Structure 1
Amino acid sequence: MTERSFRPLPAEPAEPAEPAEPGGSGGSGGSGGSGGDRPTADAWAAVGGPAGLLDRVSFRGPDAVLASGLPVRQLARATVAACSLAAAELAAHRDGGPVPAVRVDQGAVATAFVSERHLRIDGRALVGFAPFSGFWQAADGWVRTHANYPHHRVRLLAALGLPPDTAPEQFAETLRAQSAVRIQERAYEAGALAVAVAPPGESTHPLIESRTVDAAPARPLPAAPLPAAGLRVLDLTRVTAGPVATRTLALLGADVLRIDSPHLPEDEDAHADTGFGKRSTRLDLADPADRAAFEDLLATADVVVSGYRPGALDRHGLAPDALLERRPGLIVAQLCAWGWTGPWADRRGFDSLVQAGTGIAALTAAADGRPGVLPAQALDHGTGYLIAAAVLRALTDQRTGRPGGRHLRFSLAGTASWLVRGIRPEEGTAGGPYGPAPWLAETGSPYGRLRHALPPIAYEGGPTDWARPPGRWGTDAAVWR
Structure 2
Amino acid sequence: MARLASFWSGLGGDPALLSRVSAVERPGVLPSRLPVREFAGACVGVCALAAAELAARRTGGGEVPAVRVDDGAVATAFVSERHLRTDGRAAESFAPLSRFWRTADGWVRTHANYPHHRARLLTALGAPEDPDAVAAVLARRSAREVEETVTAAGGLAVALRTPEEWAAHGQAAAVARLPLVERVRLDAAPAREFTAAGGDPLLPAAGLRVLDLTRVVAGPVATRTLALLGADVLRLDPPGLPELPDQHTDTGFGKRSALVDLASGREVFEELLARADVVVTGYRPGSLDRFGLSAEALAGRRPGVVVAQLSAWGAAGPWAARRGFDSLVQVATGIAHIEGDHGRPGALPAQALDHGTGYLLAAGVLRALSDQADAGGGRLVRVALARTAAEVRAGADDSAAHGGEVPATPWLAERNSPLGRLRYALPPVDFEGGPRDWARPPGAWGADAARWV
Could you state the TM-score of these two structures normalised by the residue count of structure 2?
0.94
Please give the secondary structure, in 1, of the residue aligned with 2:219. Answer: helix
Question: How far off its partner does 1:218 sit?
Answer: 3.4
User: Which structure carries more relative contact order (alpha carbon 8 Å, separation 6+)?
Assistant: 2
Q: Choose which of 137, 153, 162 in structure 2 pairs with 1:199.
A: 162
Q: Deviations over 1:335-374 (max 9, x none)?
A: 00011221111000000000000000001111x2110000
AA aligned opposite 2:314: G
Stretch deviating more after TM superposition (130-139 or 44-53) = 44-53
Distance 2:417 2:259 in 1: 20
Distance 1:77 1:212 in 2: 28
Q: Determine the structure 1 residue equivalent to 2:68.
A: 103
Provide closer, same or farther for how the CA distance between residues 460 and 124 of structure 1 changes in structure 2, counting only shifts above 3 A: same
8 Å contact from structure 2 (residues 34, 398) kept in 1: no
Distance 2:452 2:307 in 1: 18
Provide closer, same or farther for how the CA distance between residues 431 and 359 of structure 1 changes in structure 2, counting only shifts above 3 A: closer
Please give the secondary structure, in 1, of the residue aligned with 2:161. Answer: coil
Question: How far off its partner does 1:425 sit?
Answer: 4.4
Please give the secondary structure, in 2, of the residue aligned with 1:399. Answer: helix
Task: State yes or no: 1:410 paired with 2:383.
Answer: yes
Task: State yes or no: 1:454 paired with 2:429.
Answer: no
8 Å contact from structure 1 (residues 62, 431) kept in 2: no
Stretch deviating more after TM superposition (335-344 or 172-181) = 335-344
Distance 1:93 1:300 in 2: 22
Please give the secondary structure, in 2, of the residue aligned with 1:77. Answer: helix
Question: How far off its partner does 1:53 sit?
Answer: 0.6
Identity %: 63
Provide closer, same or farther for how the CA distance between residues 55 and 111 of structure 1 changes in structure 2, counting only shifts above 3 A: same
Q: Choose which of 275, 281, 291 in structure 2 pairs with 1:300.
A: 275
Q: Choose which of 166, 169, 180 in structure 1 pairs with 2:143.
A: 180
Question: How far off its partner does 1:292 sit?
Answer: 0.8
Task: State yes or no: 1:222 paired with 2:199.
Answer: no
Q: Deviations over 1:417-458 (max 9, x none)?
A: 11113x464966999751000000001111100000000001
Provide closer, same or farther for how the CA distance between residues 428 and 356 of structure 1 changes in structure 2, counting only shifts above 3 A: closer
8 Å contact from structure 1 (residues 62, 433) kept in 2: no
AA aligned opposite 1:63: P
Please give the secondary structure, in 1, of the residue aligned with 2:417. Answer: coil
Task: State yes or no: 1:352 paired with 2:327.
Answer: yes
Question: How far off its partner does 1:48 sit?
Answer: 1.4
Correspondence list, 1:369-384, <5 A = 369-384=343-358
Distance 1:305 1:46 in 2: 20
Stretch deviating more after TM superposition (468-477 or 54-63) = 54-63
Q: Determine the structure 2 residue equivalent to 1:208.
A: 181
Q: Determine the structure 2 residue equivalent to 1:15.
A: none
8 Å contact from structure 2 (residues 253, 440) kept in 1: yes
8 Å contact from structure 2 (residues 31, 401) kept in 1: no
Please give the secondary structure, in 1, of the residue aligned with 2:304. Answer: coil
Q: Choose which of 39, 54, 60 in structure 2 pairs with 1:75.
A: 39
Q: Determine the structure 2 residue equivalent to 1:283.
A: 260
Distance 1:424 1:302 in 2: 39
8 Å contact from structure 2 (residues 58, 196) kept in 1: yes
Q: Choose which of 419, 442, 447 in structure 1 pairs with 2:392.
A: 419
Distance 2:188 2:352 in 1: 35
Please give the secondary structure, in 2, of the residue aligned with 1:110. Answer: helix
Structure 2: where are the runs of 5+ without partners? none
8 Å contact from structure 1 (residues 62, 430) kept in 2: no
Please give the secondary structure, in 2, of the residue aligned with 1:76. Answer: helix
Q: Whose helix fraction is larger, Structure 1's or Structure 2's?
A: 2
Distance 2:346 2:222 in 1: 26
Please give the secondary structure, in 1, of the residue aligned with 2:123. Answer: helix
Stretch deviating more after TM superposition (314-323 or 410-419) = 314-323
Question: How far off its partner does 1:219 sit?
Answer: 3.4
Distance 1:142 1:428 in 2: 26
Task: State yes or no: 1:362 paired with 2:340.
Answer: no
Stretch deviating more after TM superposition (427-436 or 154-163) = 427-436
Question: How far off its partner does 1:140 sit?
Answer: 0.4
Question: How far off its partner does 1:132 sit?
Answer: 0.4
Q: Determine the structure 1 residue equivalent to 2:226.
A: 249
Q: Deviations over 1:8-45 (max 9, x none)?
A: xxxxxxxxxxxxxxxxxxxxxxxxxxxxx211011111
Q: Choose which of 232, 236, 257 in structure 1 pairs with 2:213.
A: 236
Q: Determine the structure 1 residue equivalent to 2:119.
A: 154
The alignment covers a number of residue pairs equal to: 438
8 Å contact from structure 2 (residues 51, 366) kept in 1: yes
8 Å contact from structure 1 (residues 235, 246) kept in 2: yes
